[in-house]
Amino acid sequence: MTAKRIAEGVYYTGTIDWDRRTFDELVALPRGTSYNSYLISGSSATALIDSTEPSMADELLRTLEEMDAEINYIVSQHAEQDHSGTIPELLEIYPEAEVLGTPPCIELLEELLRIKGNFREVRDGETLSLGDKTLRFTVTPWVHWPDTMVTYLEEEGILFTCDFFGSHIATSEIMETPEDFLREAKRYYAHIMMPFSQMVTSNLSKISKLEVSMIAPSHGPVISEPELIMDAYAAWTSGGDGVVIAYTTMHGSTRVMVERLTEKLMELDVGVRPVNVAEHDTGEFLTELVDASVLVVASPTVLTRPHPAIASALYLVNALKPPVKYVAVMGSYGWGSLIESEVRKLLSNLNVEYLESVLVKGLPLEEDLQRVDELAMKIKGVNGW
């Protein structure tokens, strides 16, 4: 695509992946995505910030060729291949270009891309002069790998952030913030940033010292109101008071319990979101967990253990560590249930308190459903609704 000017001497040179529908073979991308790079042309040197996914290398190279760009520096803010994967091709065309990154980033570039280049490690706070433009690098580890950093263009106040503040949105209006931007950004946060919420908080504090006029991430649109996304990140890292019911059902008995719990919680004015994890895309489930303080796991048994769709969802919950404080287990079983102990094993990373389980042999009777009502009242109590 043709480069877009976003400020004097600053160009968007990204590639848009309109048709990509999953990321990491895990999370659906209902709106596609983009891999953004930016060319910054100073009076004495030019830098390219990030590159693109290898499958889109030709498009980036064509854009740079059309611009007749001479690249002196390639700033690699993060070594994951959707941003670094075209560096080998770039180095063939610009063999004199220096590749700048944090020390862990340089190490990862060598390991992931198997390239030997003209690498230069940058330190926190270091600056790079392009003549009339100055780049300042701020090391922001674990958003979301140990190698990550952001780049601040001092003269314009533009902050280039790679994955930090990204969203999976393919749009031709790269300078417009779509109305549902925060929904997509939250989905992105849940999948990519949630396990590192403490590091997100400390990096937010670090970059809040900069006067930022615009945030230019490496996925999704440029954000012209930085406080919009920074305030949202601050809220997401603080957790919430929602109740998420992760469930599935085989013959309907567990569904009866889930429906009763949902109705009772609504009657009690408690915010609740049941998610059939076998039916919904993983991204939607993870997004709901960002604001959850209570997770109810509701599953039928498969050979006495949780249904595989539930086990898979809990594997992710355990890895992504949402801000959940309480877990309750519900479900219907046939001849025996080891669900509660299996759920505890699957969620061993979470520091949570378990509420009393409601496990029912067969189709729930009214007396069983009254135990579900009691669970709802207990949830209301612990959750401070």
- Residue 367 corresponds to which amino acid? E
Position 78 contacts ligand FEO (CB under 6 A): yes
To ligand FEO, the closest distance from the beta carbon of 84 in angstroms equals 9
Q: Which is nearer to ligand FEO, 110 or 259 (CB)?
A: 110
Nearest CB to ligand FEO, comparing residues 219 and 260 = 219
Strand bridging mode 326-333 / 353-354: parallel
Phi/psi at 65 (nearest 5 deg)?
A: -65, -45
Is 219 a binding residue for ligand FEO by CB under 6 A? The answer is yes
Closest approach, Cβ 80 to ligand FEO, in A, equals 4
Residue whose C-beta lies closest to ligand FEO: 80
**Distance (Å, whole) CA 251 – CA 254:** 8
187 interacts with ligand FEO by CB under 6 A: no
- Joined together, the tokens standing for residue 297 give 């796991």
**Which region among 76-84, 182-190, 196-204, 371-379 touches ligand FEO (by CB under 6 A)?**
76-84
The yes or no reply on residue 80 touching ligand FEO (CB under 6 A) is: yes
Tell me whether residue 302 is exposed, middle or buried, using C-beta atoms within 10 angstroms of its C-beta: 0 to 12, 13 to 18, 19 or more: middle
Residue 240 beta carbon to ligand FEO: minimum distance, rounded to whole angstroms: 25
Closest CA to 159 of 121, 210, 202: 210
Total number of residues binding ligand FEO (CB under 6 A)? 7
Among positions 17, 50, 59, 82, the unique one binding ligand FEO when judged by CB under 6 A: 82
Cα-based torsion angle of the residue sequence 239, 241, 246, 252 in order, rounded to the nearest 10 degrees: -170
DSSP 8-state code for residue 289: H
Question: Among residues 78 and 260, whose Cβ is nearest to ligand FEO?
Answer: 78
Asked if 83 interacts with ligand FEO (CB under 6 A), we say yes
**Per CB under 6 A, which region of 37-45, 75-83, 86-94, 358-366 contacts ligand FEO?**
75-83
Long-range contacts of 109-114 (CB under 8 A, 24+ apart): 109/76, 109/79, 109/84, 112/79, 112/80, 112/81, 112/84, 113/81, 113/84, 113/85, 113/87, 113/88
Distance (Å, rounded) from C-alpha 28 to C-alpha 74?
30
Q: How far is the CB of 288 from ligand FEO (least distance, A)?
A: 22
Nearer to ligand FEO, 82 or 184 (CB): 82
Instruction: Point out which residues bind ligand FEO (CB under 6 A).
Output: 78, 80, 82-83, 144, 163, 219
